[in-house]
Amino acid sequence: MSIDTLPAPARDPLLAAAKLVIALLIGLLTLVMAAVVIAFGAALVLGPTQILAEIGAADAPLRAYWAVLALMLLFEGALFLSIRFLLELRRIVLSVEQGDPFHPANAERLARMGWLGLAIWLTDIPIGLIGAWLTPYLTAAEADLEISGDFGVESLFLILTLFILARVFRQGAAMRDDLEGTV
């Protein structure tokens, strides 16, 4: 039976729920990205004097202004990478819904998701370091804000799993192609 003669896939509620959740997350992350761009623009317009006035009670140095700008840029980058990750996941869900999970493109999507996950994980490191440096000033200014990076080992396990799944899918697609060639 070739791919062209596969029966139409049945409606799967799990895939429908996954598509809905992914779409909602992409929408939410897009809104957050827009808010960060607006905040970044406001920080540039207001300048270091106004921003430092907010945390000036903590005797924050001028570097704090640049650290806040860097933090916003890093966060924006992590959001962008997260949206790209979700778009790749959405494409996988769509191909599974069409009845072709072991399509060679899915192996490439999983590999891209692994690289995107690694990039997000690496972006979290400077976010955490800048956040740790800013925390004493935010605490002294009584700001109700905590900035931390999430670079736990469980994220690395997810990234490793994505790379392994990419290889599994590559092998599955090759085996399927070999099987179709022998029929």
- Per the domain annotation, does 2 fall within a domain? no
Cα distance between residue 26 and residue 12, in whole Å: 21
Cα distance between residue 101 and residue 93, in whole Å: 8
Domain that holds residue 126: 12-182
Please say if the pLDDT value at position 33 is more than 50: yes
- Per the domain annotation, does 81 fall within a domain? yes
- Per the domain annotation, does 5 fall within a domain? no
Per-residue pLDDT, 1: 46
Supply the angle between the helices 104-140 and 63-97 in degrees, to the nearest 10: 150
Per-residue pLDDT, 9: 55
- Per the domain annotation, does 7 fall within a domain? no
pLDDT tens digits for range 45-95: 887 777 667 665 567 777 888 888 999 999 999 999 999 999 999 999 999
Would you list the DSSP string of 97-145? HTT-TT-HHHHHHHHHHHHHHHHHHHHHHHHHHHHHHHHHHHHHTT---
Please say if the pLDDT value at position 2 is more than 60: no
Rounded to 10 degrees, the C-alpha dihedral 114/121/123/170 comes to: 0
- Per the domain annotation, does 3 fall within a domain? no
pTM confidence score:
0.82
